[in-house]
Structure formats: structure tokens, C-alpha cells
Amino acid sequence: MNKYDVVVIGGGHAGVEAAAVASRFGVKTALITHDSSKIGEMSCNPAIGGIGKSHLAKEVDAMGGLMAKAADKAGIHYRVLNSTKGQAVRATRVQTDRELYKSAVQELVNNENNLTVIEGSVIDFKIKNSQIKAVLIESGEEFSSETVVLTTGTFLGGVMHTGLEQSPGGRVGDPSSEKLAKKLRSLNLSVGRLKTGTPPRLNKHTIDWSILTPQPGDVPTPLLSYTSKKEERPKQLDCFMTRTNKETHQIIMDHLHESPMYSGVIEGVGPRYCPSIEDKVMRFSERDSHQIFAEPEGLESDLIYPNGISTSLPLKAQAALIRSIKGFENAEIVRPGYAIEYDYFDPTGLKHSLETKAIEGLFFAGQINGTTGYEEAAAQGLMAGINAALKTKKQNAFVLKRDEAYTGVLIDDLVSLGTKEPYRMFTSRAEYRLILREDNADMRLTEKGRNLGIVPDELWEKYLQKKRQSSLEFTRLKKVKLQPNTIEAEYIEHQSGEKISNNISLFEMLKRPKVFHSHLPQGSDELPTNVIDEIEASVKYEGYIKRQKADIDKLQRNENTPIPETIDYKNVVGLSNEVKQRLSEARPESLARASRLPGITPAAISLLMVHIKKGRRLVG
């Protein structure tokens, strides 16, 4: 029989991170997936990053994950979004070549030791006394393991819709997982349905590029990963912009009755923030135009991804609406857009380690937890993989806090609040936004990763070097003083409009909102951008960060007040039955976590506090 320490099911974005990181703990790991040639497949838009998402991708990267490295090997168009705003909310977005991305991920997976890729469709679990024991694949083979990470994405009970036609499937060209879905529905887990969609793909040669607005990538071109090198990046391409118009919207309105969403065929809830064009037209009826980015799917690919018009209208309507758009008058649809409906599990059934509360040793990560997006999946995959491996070693779970990482925010939100629609990351979800930045994901996490043993030497060296450079530069900025009426002072004034009337350190100067590092006299070493970014952000946000840290300390008190596992909420005097039930279901580990549950008022928290204190007094 095949025995593994950790079995990961699904070779999507969550699965590959989970499998790779688990194997780095030196435990025998298997990645079971339908088709090994599809490992790292991007079901939708071939792009990584974006606001909130790039933060996740960088965090995964800072702990040795694969996503950002693969994206840089395949990146054909880079932009920094929010570049006119401050560091904390700037976000890198990379358009990738779909094929290059896939092969980059596969190469990274193949390079891991202790990791075996197995092709097969998982159809059943063996569970004994609420402990996972083994997984079975369609061919009849069994793999025994006491820690299993499930990352099957949109495949469980997947149904694809184009117009009123529907067919089972996990994504176009792939089968859905019916037997496994049935098995999971029979377990003590709360199952729901969600939906998402994708636009039709267009033939590159049938678009009139000459009348579209080009949107070149940013120069200098950034990188997503802390360890990628410029030379690894392929050639860069432009994207193009166009817009929907009144006619487009009329076509959509005329065909709405054929839309599976609006005719009531789809019951799953779609993402509010990544709405279909039908949704946008209905919801923002006052707008007569929406933006579309025409994005190449790859260097060699003939496919164009028209970003912004995800739709599940029937093919005929899709064709009409496409042709109503400027530049797309003669465009040919190569593959129709569709919506997909799938099973997800209420994530409040998970511990913060992403292990299910119902079945010991079974971890969930990715889309099945109600999220949407590659980066959200990758971040969960990484954490589930770490915790599965730690579990085999009987070590405590590794949990990131809300002030440490977006990954922490993501998991805490899911586990505490659950989700009613596909959950996508945003910077506004993070209360410590100014601390959680792209430029310091490594400063926040690489050391933690190294302590776990999952950070490769190359990343560790880079991190140490950045730390060294940044501390030297801080010293220099504090030491070097500017004097009025010098060339340096004049240069700064010219660049920023800031006058220098007294002797002032470079550090103090940099605190002023309009002064940037590039305005200051430079030291002898040329510093990499990510060091400068980190320095600028920490100086400019200093006052705010101090306040945020003070808040964190205050909250820490509650965070550190554990709620005894044995607590019986029925005995907490004063709580309403509703609150009692919610707490009994969620079983939060600390007061702070309890306070984030929906419907839990501060009043309830104080009652809980009193109860816990009393209990302690009785015991001690």
C-alpha cells in the first residue's frame, strides 16, 4: 500500500503551494491531481497580483512559495496599480503567458525533494473515528495518510453554464468531481454553492488594434518575487483598452432572460467585486459604458482575454455584444464565456490552521473555502501545507495574525466570519494596512519561514542583505545633515518645493510628505528599489504606524486571553441564546477572535470576560 505523510489533492494554485511547502519539512508528500500537464493551470485570466492580491503573492514568496517566481518567469506585462498613492496600497499586477506560467510551476514542483506527483481522480476518503486515514482514486488505488489537504477548486459538483445550456465540468475542458463531491456532502460539513464566470476568448487576428488605446507596461518593469532576476523575464507586450457602449448594454438587456443568473437557473452567489457584465449593466444602470482591457494570453497565443466582460449569456448574444464594441466589430469568439457553479464549504468549520473541525487531519485550502482568485488560493495552500506538515510532526499550528500578514487577515476573516459570496482580498480588509505592505512582506515573514525550515538559502541571503542595506541606510540618513543654501538643499527644494532653513538630517527631511529618497544626496552604495521603498514607507508612515502598534498592543490583551476549550457557553450568564449558539458553533480560541464573530457585541464580550475571570478564580 502507498503510505504518505501528507497527501495534497488538486494541482491548482492552492495545491502546488501546499505540496511544495509540506515536502520542505522533509515529510513524504504526494500531490494527486487529474492531469499532471495541467498543474498550475490558470482557469481564468492569466494574471497574478492586483490590489490586495499582490500583497498575498509577495507574502507567499517571502516564505519561499512558488507563485511569484513562476509569474516572473512568465510575466509579459507589468503594472504598479495605485502608483500615485502611498506604498501601502501600491500593488503589482503581472500579465503572464499562460503556457509559460504552467511550465514554470511544473518545473518548480518537480524540483522539490520528497514530493511525488500522482495522476488520478480522487473519489473517496477513508475516515475512522473522525480521523482521516486514506484517499482513494478512481483506478482503485489507495493512498494512506493521516494528513490530507483538499484543494479541488471549482471542481466539486461543478456545473458550467452558457446561456440556458449547462454541462458538468470543473472548468472548460476538465471533468467535475462528482463522486468526491458526493462523499464530502455526506460528511459533517456545511456545504453551499457559489458561482464565478469568465469572458469569451477572442481571436487576436480579428481585432482592429489600430483604433484601440494601447496601455504599455510600466518602465522600469518591476518584479513580483523577491528573488527573481530581470533576465528571467520574457519579452514585454502592450495591453489595449476599449469600452462597452449603449448598444452593448441594450443587447445585454434584450438577452437577460437567457442568462442563467437572471432566469434563476444559477442559485450560487457570484463575486460582487468581479461581476459579470450582466451584473454591471443591471447594477449600474446609470452608466452607459464600462472599461475593457484586451489582454494577450501569451507571447505565442492567438487568444485575447477581454478583461471586464465576463458573461454567461448564450453564444449568439455573446457574439452580438462583442461585435458592438469598438475594435471588436469583426472579432471572432474562439471560446465562449461561461459561468461555473460549484460546492464550497462554510469556512467557519475550519480552525485557524485550516484543518477542518469535523475531521482530524483533513485540511481545506483554496476556492473550496469560498474564496476566489489564484493568490487567495496560494496563500491558503501555503498555510495548509505548513500546518499539515507540522501536524505530522506533532508540532503546534503556525498561524499568522492580522497585524502580521494579509494571509492572516484572509484566514481569520474566513474562519471567523465565513463568507456568503466568493471572498476576494482587498486592502480595506486589513486594519493594519500601513504595516502590511508589498515592500516589507519579506521583513515581516521571511524569518518566520526560515525558522520553519521552508525558506531556501537564496531567499534567505537576499533577505539578510536587504536587512543589512536598510539598516546602514537608516544610519546614514540619521547621521547626514543638510545645510541651507547648499547645492543639495537647492536640489531638494527644486524637486519637492520643500525649503531647508536650518540644519536638518536627511531622515527628518524624508518625513516631509513631498520629499522622496531620490531627492536626497545618495550614499556610496546604489540601493535596490525594494530597499528604498521599505525605507520610504517606514519613515513616512512612522507616526501612523506607532499608533497602529499601540492599538495592536491593546488588542493583544484580548488576543492573549484564551477562552478555555472546555467552556460551556450555556453557562455564561447574560448571553442571548443566539449569541450562545454562535459561540458554541464557532468555538473561538481567544476573546479577540470571539469579538470578530458576526453578531457578537462588545457587551457579549464583557460578559464572556467576566465569566472567564470567574472561572480562573475558581480554579486558581
Ligand X SMILES: Cc1cc2nc3c(=O)[nH]c(=O)nc-3n(C[C@H](O)[C@H](O)[C@H](O)COP(=O)(O)OP(=O)(O)OC[C@H]3O[C@@H](n4cnc5c(N)ncnc54)[C@H](O)[C@@H]3O)c2cc1C
302 φ/ψ angles, rounded to the nearest 5 degrees: -90, 0
Query: Which residues within the stretch 429-468 sit at the binding site for another protein (CB under 8 A)?
Result: 431, 433-434
CA distances from 188 to 133, 265, 345, 526, 573 (A): 16, 27, 11, 58, 30
Measured from the CB of residue 607, what is the shortest distance to another protein in angstroms? 7
Which of ligand X, another protein, none sits in contact with 269, Cβ below 5 to 8 A by type? none
Residue 203's nearest CA partner among 301, 76, 96 is 301
By CB under 8 A, the residues from 556 to 575 that bind another protein are: 557-558, 570-571, 573-574
DSSP 145-196: -SEEEE--TT-BT-EEEETTEEEE-SBTTB--BHHHHHHHHHSS--EEEEEE
Candidates 246, 283, 554, 614: give the one binding another protein (CB under 8 A).
554
The vertex-65 CA angle with 273 and 347, nearest 5°, equals 45
Residue 571 binding target from ligand X, another protein, none, CB below 5 to 8 Å by type: another protein
CA distance 399 to 405: 10
Least distance between ligand X and beta carbon 379 (Å): 11
CA distances 219 to 460, 489, 517, 531, 585, Å, are 28, 28, 19, 18, 51
Among another protein, ligand X, none, residue 370 binds (CB under 5-8 Å by kind) = none
Residue 211 three-state SS: helix
151 binds, among another protein, ligand X, none (CB under 5 to 8 A by kind): ligand X
The distance of closest approach from Cβ of residue 116 to ligand X in the complex, given in angstroms and rounded to an integer, is 14
CA dist., res. 150 & res. 31, Å (int): 10
> Could you write out the DSSP letters of every residue in 303-360?
EEEEET----S-HHHHHHHHHTSTT-TT--EEE--EEEEEEEE-GGGB-TTSBBSSSB
Residue 419 binds ligand X, judged by CB under 6 A: no
Which lies closer to ligand X via its Cβ, residue 150 or residue 482?
A: 150
Under 8 Å between Cβ of 384 and 364: yes
242 in Cβ contact with 294 (< 8 Å): yes
**Residue 32 interacting with ligand X (CB under 6 A):** yes
Q: Binding to another protein by residue 427, rule CB under 8 A?
A: yes
Applying CB under 6 A, the span of 31-39, 96-104, 241-249, 588-596 interacting with ligand X comes to 31-39
Binding span for ligand X by CB under 6 A among 8-16, 187-195, 470-478, 494-502: 8-16
Backbone angles phi, psi at 175, to 5 degrees: -75, 155
Which of ligand X, another protein, none interacts with 51 (beta carbon under 5 to 8 A by kind)? Answer: another protein
> Based on CB atoms, which residue is closest to ligand X, 282 or 545?
282
Per-residue contact flags (x/-) with ligand X for residues 51 to 70, judged by CB under 6 A = --------------------
CA–centroid distance for 220 within its chain: 25
Nearer to another protein, 287 or 494 (CB): 287
The reply on whether position 171 binds ligand X by CB under 6 A is: yes
| SS3 state at 27 | coil
605 binds another protein (CB under 8 A): yes
From the list 153-161, 440-448, 483-491, 568-576, the region that binds ligand X by CB under 6 A is: 153-161
Residue 122 interacts with, from ligand X, another protein, none (CB under 5-8 Å by kind): ligand X
Q: Which residues bind to another protein, rule: CB under 8 A?
A: 51-52, 81-82, 85-89, 273, 287, 290-291, 426-428, 431, 433-434, 513, 544, 547, 554, 557-558, 570-571, 573-574, 576, 601-607, 609-610
Q: Which residues bind to ligand X, rule: CB under 6 A?
A: 9-15, 32-34, 38, 43-44, 121-122, 151-155, 170-171, 174, 177, 180, 196-198, 274, 310, 340, 366-367, 372-374, 377
